[in-house]
């Protein structure tokens, strides 16, 4: 299996998270989304990165959360699995979860250095494939205007079942999702760096003092 990832720089791991655990995390995250939305709407609590946001530039108006405590815990729990399937010695950087809604689109892009080795875990909801371009080419002209070269490869379509995860080299391979025609889809991204790679020292815990902290807290 290590050779599969090392050859393609991406790999699907079936049942990486049990159905029951994935379903529990999804329901936890949806409950958090609804409670946080209520608190923001009624001025019960000031907006906080710990609670989550609807102002993510990549997917605006969709609930997302950087370094949710449960997701950070899952990131650590999955570290041995990630090491086994990549054949790399990894350190966790950060987690990011979203509850996608109808009409959302993840534009074609590559990730920043803290996402050197990444995975997206399907927590549940309606099926929504992810596409990945295994060539490693640079086809994106403007991610936020969704402009890319007209001859950009169509990519490989990957449809994850609940609990499956796609491991990929986030900084090297473009990945995206076409407009979502379902109602809800929960995904959590778990990001890692190679401990001997060029980003390891600077991006340990994504530059935070420890896991679980908001972005930029040293």
CATH number of the domain within which 148 lies? 2.60.120.620
Is there a domain that residue 132 lies in?
yes
Is there a domain that residue 218 lies in?
no
Instruction: Supply the range of the domain harboring residue 149.
Output: 2-206
Is there a domain that residue 216 lies in?
no
Percent of the chain exceeding pLDDT 90 equals 82
Is there a domain that residue 213 lies in?
no
Confidence class for position 146, pLDDT limits 50, 70, 90: confident
What's the pLDDT score for residue 203?
86
- Of 12-21, 119-128, 157-166, 192-201, the poorest mean pLDDT is in 192-201
Taking the C-alpha atoms of residue 29 and residue 35, their distance in angstroms, rounded to an integer, is 10
Contact assessment for residue 196 and residue 154, using Cβ atoms and an 8 Å cutoff:
no
Confidence class for position 1, pLDDT limits 50, 70, 90: very low
Confidence class for position 137, pLDDT limits 50, 70, 90: confident
Is there a domain that residue 8 lies in?
yes
Is there a domain that residue 212 lies in?
no
What's the pLDDT score for residue 2?
43
Confidence class for position 145, pLDDT limits 50, 70, 90: low
Q: How many domains does the chain have?
A: 1
Please, what sign has the CA dihedral across residues 121, 108, 129, 86?
negative
- Angle between the N-to-C axes of helices 19-41 and 69-77, in degrees from 0 to 180, rounded to the nearest 10: 160
């Amino acid at each position: 299996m290590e050779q599969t990832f090392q050859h393609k720089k991406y790999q699907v791991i079936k049942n990486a998270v049990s159905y029951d655990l994935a379903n529990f995390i999804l329901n936890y995250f949806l409950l958090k989304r609804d409670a946080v939305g209520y608190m923001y709407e009624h001025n019960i609590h000031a907006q906080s990165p710990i609670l989550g946001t609807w102002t993510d530039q990549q997917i605006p108006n969709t609930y997302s959360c950087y370094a949710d405590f449960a997701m950070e815990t899952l990131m650590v729990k999955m570290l041995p699995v990630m090491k086994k399937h990549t054949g790399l010695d990894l350190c966790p950087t950060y987690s990011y979860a979203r509850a996608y809604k109808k009409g959302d689109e993840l534009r074609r892009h590559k990730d920043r250095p803290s996402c050197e080795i990444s995975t997206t875990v399907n927590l549940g909801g309606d099926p929504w494939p992810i596409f990945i371009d295994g060539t490693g080419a640079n086809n994106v002209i403007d991610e936020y205007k969704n402009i890319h070269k007209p001859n950009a490869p169509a990519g490989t379509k990957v449809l994850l079942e609940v609990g499956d995860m796609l491991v990929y080299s986030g900084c090297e391979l473009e990945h995206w999702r076409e407009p979502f025609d379902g109602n809800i889809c929960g995904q959590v991204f778990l990001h890692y760096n190679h401990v001997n790679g060029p980003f390891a020292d600077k991006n340990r815990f994504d530059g935070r003092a420890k896991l679980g902290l908001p972005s930029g807290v040293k």
